[in-house]
Structure 1
Amino acid sequence: MTAPAALSVLIAEDEVLVSMFLADIVEDAGLSVLGVARTAQDAIDKAAAAPPDLALVDINLKGSSGLDVARSLAARGTAILFISGDISIGDDPEVRALNPVAILEKPCMPDRLTQALQDAAARVREARLNAPA
């Protein structure tokens, strides 16, 4: 029996060092980095080319809203994990409507992010198993 393929993760983060940190944690958690997007449009374009299983989305991308990215990706079936310097985004009805798998505050400890990624991956896999054929 072969092991399941690693789930793909799109990282929408405009800060270079933060995106590098996130990519390392994603890979350490046993997931695959599909790509890193620095702008909302770049994230949407990357997702259109290869839909990710999960997206790590900064709510405040330079010059645009991570919420727009999350809406677009969620509409395609991508699970959303928000990461933001403003944890109060969890109170926003628009954010809650997207049913994110997690909302993490920056800076985020690696073990907390790893756990959130593993929980999100388990949720995505379970949803696929329970999806109608």
Structure 2
Amino acid sequence: MDFCICRKMVKVFFNYFAEKLQQVQKDMWAALLKKGEIWQDYKQFCFSLRDYFQLSPYIHDPYDPEHDLLFHIRLILFDRNLLQLGCVEVMEETNKKYHWDKNIVKFKPTQLGLYVFHKALFENYL
């Protein structure tokens, strides 16, 4: 497959994945608010999102779908939103397969995050 076509397909799947997460954001905020400031396993959280919100059709890498899922959720949800706004704290480790990258191992909402999730759910803040 041509490299340009492949990059465009990745971008399309990435955009669909981002749109799907946007559609279910209130359910995610409710789940995070319910857990409070308890450390959560990142992989388990991602797999739960995949299964509960049926995200599998938006994962485009047939060779490493787990990495694709974890990477997209990290980039779209964590790096571009929750971490930038200080809504979560994370524990990371060096990726065993991609040594230049780090994986989130665990995360927990911060006090600010719980406040933002509450405002988003009950006061239409976001």
Give the TM-score normalised by structure 1.
Answer: 0.30
Query: Between Structure 1 and Structure 2, whose CA radius of gyration is higher?
Result: 2
Give the TM-score normalised by structure 2.
Answer: 0.31
- Which structure has the highest helix share of the two? 2
